Structure 1
């Protein structure tokens, strides 16, 4: 998920996506931008230099450290698409086996290209993830 130094910026998500050098990754990012905008009902916001986010949540650790992070989002990395906030909802565990080719790690969902996954399942994960991350049910530890 977003680290403690990643904050929303005034940068344009569309300009960022337009600058992605790999054509396929750029096309997939454009599709994710439209899909996440439609599902969340929110405009995209850049978090740091490379994360496109939709909505936010507040976290507070037992240590007292707290801040805000994107609720759901993505980053079109050179090696894969990293998707944030989609694996925390309890229902995600049931949907992930139906998604298609992917891997998870450090709270992220990684896919090589959108053609590798069932986009209906991805849409469900986005909706569930966003709802869960902005709800009172989610707490960071």
Structure 2
């Protein structure tokens, strides 16, 4: 893990308007900006999505770059790791891996951020028979249902 306090790229239940946003992020952030994760594809999960690296470099996942309030960063990092069932790099029980990736803010500015992507065992299953989220925007896909 880096010592820098990276923002988080959120693309599912942590986005504004979704169930975990108010519960876990409200009052703990200083900025929430629309952003894209390039080179990634989104898969449906059981009530939440999974981002995976894409073979198509033009594929993108839509979300927000969330900057934690400095005095909340450590607590928020621990809370999000627990929510995402992330026990550390490569842990065999991980549902997600927390990785540092470049995301693009809506004005095109690149920003390094933490992104929770599907752990390899989950990614293999999704690639073999999962359903992708058209357009890479889970919030939009859920609101159309």
TM-score, structure 1 length as denominator? 0.26
Higher relative contact order structure (alpha carbons within 8 Å, sequence separation ≥ 6): 2
TM-score, structure 2 length as denominator? 0.26
